Structure 1
Amino acid sequence: MSSKDAPSTWSGVDIAVPPPAHRLPGVSMAGFRQALPAPVDIAMVAHPSVTLLIDLSGEDGLVYETGVRRGRGSVVIGLAPGALRASGLVGECLQIRLRPAVAAAALGSPAGADAGAESLADVWGLDTGRFEERLRTAGSWDERFAMATDLVRRRIGDGGPRVDPEVAYIWRRIVAGGGRVRVDNLADEVGWSRKRLWACFRAQLGPTPKRAARLVRFDHAAHLLAAGLPPAGVAAESGYVDQSHLHRETKAFTGLTPTAVAAAPWLAIDDIAWPDLWRAGRPVPRSARGSGRR
């Protein structure tokens, strides 16, 4: 990669983020590179976006595995994949996060409440291989980001499924409230019946509003765990009934314990790989407010 990319480094991994020119609304990207391909075995932690993990390491690279599926190569990870691990001999990969409404248009279908993991080639078709090869031979991360931005923009513009403004508004309300919203009141805010909202939200985005709220609340809790807060404090901070409630939700979304989630590498680098998302949506615990901690 060209030195002009000026990537950050975390634990031996170079992390590159795109310049403003290669950013689309509802789309975030980050590039990851190890100096030499090295074995990895990482638990993936669910978060409120659909992830495209594009393997640039070649045939012996990324392996992904859920409780029911195992595959190799580039993968689409749904909103709530459950217990999911990524392993293999990985040198470089590009990760693209899509807001659910954008994912529906770019991928041609809703994200799915429990979509798990699906081969990118099965979703995007035969052009996937050519796209991956172009990314591998690019001279810099900036070129890669430009290629990926162009492809996602074209796929969004190809007339894929569109999300109703009311559904998109409810998603934003859930995210803005950190998942701590009374979902029974959301229908009134857009003038819909509860039945209509539940049906449209699920058909267009995948999960029900209630499950989406659970996922967003878990995402906030997971980042508090990664920040070093004890599970009991995280449970209270995130609006769970108690620590046992947090434990059950963590197991349901990831198959992991809160302690294991706290140590997950993907969470540790979020402020580097996704700086805009981090600044815009991450909770600051009460214990840190007013103290200058971040």
Structure 2
Amino acid sequence: MPAEAGVLTEAVVGRPDPRLRPYVDRYLGYREHTPAPLVRQEVAGAFVVLILGWGAALDVTDPRAAGRGASGVNAFVAGPFDGCCTTRTEGEGVGVQVLLTPPAARRLLGLPLGELANRVLPVDRIGGWLVRLRDELAEAPDWPGRFARLDAALTTRLAGSGPVDPRLLGAWRSLAAGGVGVGAVADELGWSRRHLAAAFRREFGQPPKTVARLVRFQRAYATLGRELVTAPLDDGGAAGVTVAGAGPGWAELAARCGYYDQSHLIRDFRQFAGRTPTALVRPRSHSSNPG
């Protein structure tokens, strides 16, 4: 596939209104020029990506199932995914990216994330308010104005939506914190593991065991010094810790991040990043999620 590096001409980070920060960690305004087709491999994660763009369109492809992706979109909602995808674009892309934890996305989007799991949907398939918001962002004269419009729209959405089931929110927070097994979370709720898995998957898009694996992978990926869209790991938007510098030995990294052994680490990297840790740390390797 032909690919040429894009030129990021603008990258502006905005901090949401304090009332939104339990749900949204940051806004990222971007403008990128890609003079030739640019293909990126996007890693999986326990988060939802909202892109409100009005520039060049993207094709998003899940190699496991063609129907899960989307073609010719510049405003869409993606995830949560439990496998890597690819994006392809050419031209000038401009827009705003918003990263959401599944509990935050469940409330803001107003639909169970089981309907979004491993899928990319254009915003007109989600709700007219997102289409109108995208158009308003495109018409705004500058990034501060766009971020203020995002604040207003998301605050209105929160005011009109009900809270997430506190039992499932507690289960999410326990799994996102790491070090807690699914069985222990189910026992704390007084639920069977099957009931927890069904309810969790319906509301948050992935079963609890997969979420625990994705959270562990995100931390390992960040330890390699990789930018994983600064993915939020809890409902307050906390991000995984990035450790700069050379990567550790894989057995050491596995132990540090809570893997049983090195082979489990490599398995998750193959599934969630599409390549091994060794391949990712080679010079000129390119794996990213929008960000």
Residue by residue over 1:3-51, the C-alpha shift from the partner in whole angstroms, topping out at 9 and shown as x without a partner, is xxxxxxxx74432222353644211333243475545322222222111
Distance in 1 of aligned mates of 2:280 and 2:149: 33
Which residue number corresponds to residue 24 of structure 2? 27
Which residue number corresponds to residue 78 of structure 1? 79
- Give 1 or 2: higher helix fraction: 1
Partner residue of 1:132 out of 131, 134, 159: 134
Distance in 2 of aligned mates of 1:26 and 1:239: 27
Which residue number corresponds to residue 52 of structure 1? 50
Check the 8 A contact 1:62/1:87 in 2, yes or no.
yes
- Asked if residue 121 in structure 1 is aligned to residue 91 in structure 2, the reply is no
Q: 2:83 corresponds to which letter in structure 1?
A: G
Runs of 4+ aligned structure 1 residues displaced above 6 Å come to none
TM-score by length of 2: 0.75
Which residue number corresponds to residue 94 of structure 2? 92
Which residue number corresponds to residue 202 of structure 1? 201
**Residue correspondences, number:** 254
Check the 8 A contact 1:45/1:264 in 2, yes or no.
no
How far residue 210 of structure 1 moved from its aligned partner, in angstroms, is 1.1
Q: SS of the counterpart of 1:202?
A: helix
State, as a whole percentage, how many aligned pairs show the same letter: 32
Q: 1:90 to 1:261 in 2, by over 3 A?
A: farther
Check the 8 A contact 1:44/1:85 in 2, yes or no.
yes
TM-score by length of 1: 0.75
Q: SS of the counterpart of 2:145?
A: helix
Q: SS of the counterpart of 1:25?
A: coil
Check the 8 A contact 1:110/1:203 in 2, yes or no.
yes
Residue by residue over 1:192-247, the C-alpha shift from the partner in whole angstroms, topping out at 9 and shown as x without a partner, is 34343223222221222111101111111111122441434322221223332222
Check the 8 A contact 1:50/1:76 in 2, yes or no.
yes
Q: 1:142 corresponds to which letter in structure 2?
A: P
Structure 1, gaps ≥5 residues long: 1-10, 274-294
Distance in 2 of aligned mates of 1:27 and 1:19: 9
Q: 1:133 to 1:261 in 2, by over 3 A?
A: farther
Distance in 2 of aligned mates of 1:252 and 1:78: 15
Partner residue of 2:263 out of 244, 252, 257: 244
Q: 1:19 to 1:83 in 2, by over 3 A?
A: closer
Structure 2, gaps ≥5 residues long: 1-6, 227-243
Q: SS of the counterpart of 1:229?
A: coil
Which residue number corresponds to residue 240 of structure 2? none
